[in-house]
Amino acid sequence: MNTIRGIEAADRTGLLQILNGTNMFTPAEISVAMELIDTALTKPDQTDYLIFVAVNDQKLAGYVCYGPTPATEGTFDLYWIAVASQVQGKGIGTDLLAYVESAVKARNGHLIIIETSSKEKYLPTRNFYLKNGYTIAAQIKDFYRLGDDRVIFVKYFKRENN
């Protein structure tokens, strides 16, 4: 059973291990992810980067970082989602994504935006988003580096008052 809870200071080392262990992220990307984790841990009142962790069999199994998109109404960015390599395929990523979607809907959000790489190793990631109802809204050629496009996924939700 997967449990999702808010991030705690004791999670920091385990999250760094998860990020490194996936072999998906560059050192620069891991540095950015850790900067957001540290922001969430050291400034608990900030609302830009909301981080929740998944625990599976009492072990840290993954995390998600999302937040409201600045200068928008009801739009949210999903910045990071990572699952420990040894427990991938056990529904943890799906649970984390569902948690974010529920939280966004509870805040009357109507749109989640996710961006990822076009590189071949990200094909399972892109398929994961497609399987969960996201669609590709744009692809920006050579965004991250030559041959590595930015693929932008979106998912819309019906607003409660519309």
Using CA of residue 109, residue 115, residue 120, residue 125, what is the dihedral sign?
A: negative
Query: pLDDT tier at 160 (50, 70, 90 boundaries)?
Result: low
| Domain range summary for the chain, segments of one domain joined by + | 2-156
- For domain 2-156, the CATH class is alpha beta
- pLDDT at residue 2, as a whole number: 82
What is the reported pTM? 0.93
- pLDDT at residue 158, as a whole number: 83
Tens digit of pLDDT for each residue in 27-36? 999 999 999 9
Name residue, tokens 């930015």. 150
Average pLDDT, the chain: 95
88 three-class SS:
coil
